[in-house]
Amino acid sequence: MLNDHNDDRLVEICFKNYYQALHRYAYGMLKNNDDAGDAVQSVFLKIWENKIQLIEEQGIRSYLYTAVHHHCLNVRRQQNIQKKRIGNYQAPAIINMNQLISKESYDRIMRSIDQLPEQCKQVFKKSRFEQKTYKEIAIELGISIKTVEVHMGKALRILRLRLSNILLITILYSTFTCFSN
């Protein structure tokens, strides 16, 4: 039993005798080493601060396991609440690029792609729309990877020149949208 003279000593003995087993028990519930250690330490701290009476060996063991169990349940409950809060939090809507670009702009972009020289257009569409690698495009079209790179560079230069005003508007709009949130 804890009393004024022996309470620190008894808590220390219990801590040494039960810490590892209680830690394993808490870890089994929480699946996190730090949280398990914190749970066991919190129980012992509460015993020491509140001068809780521990009676006989079996009573001490039962009390400690029950206290750790309840502490772990509280930790899990708090973690679930946090997960729900995070799950319910809705980040500002990310604007899909297709929504950002008007139908008119989309049509203009597609017309510009269609006006590319034939080989550039094929390479560009396979790369950007079909998500193919330069190597896959080279094999499919029977040209070298270096030729694919040249056609892609040429297509991007042409499109950049033809669509610079659309690109500028898109970048400005997305920049101001990001900073306003």
CB 109 within 8 A of CB 101: yes
Torsion sign, CA atoms 6, 45, 53, 24? negative
What is the chain's pLDDT, residue by residue, as a tens digit (181 residues)? 445 556 677 778 888 888 899 999 999 988 888 888 889 888 888 877 776 666 555 577 888 888 889 988 988 888 888 877 776 655 455 445 545 557 777 788 888 889 999 999 999 999 888 889 999 999 999 999 999 999 999 988 888 888 777 666 665 555 554 444 4
Please state, in angstroms and rounded to a whole number, the distance separating the CA atoms of residues 82 and 111. Answer: 50
**Pair of tokens at residue 158:** 């042409």
User: What number does CATH give the domain 7-88?
Assistant: 1.10.1740
Cβ count near 151 (within 10 Å): 24
Q: According to CATH, where is 1.10.1740 located in the chain?
A: 7-88
Which part of the chain has CATH 1.10.10.10?
97-180
- What's the CATH architecture for 97-180? Orthogonal Bundle (1.10)
Is 0.75 surpassed by the pTM of this model?
no
Q: What is the rounded distance in angstroms from the CA atom of residue 1 to the CA atom of residue 179?
A: 63
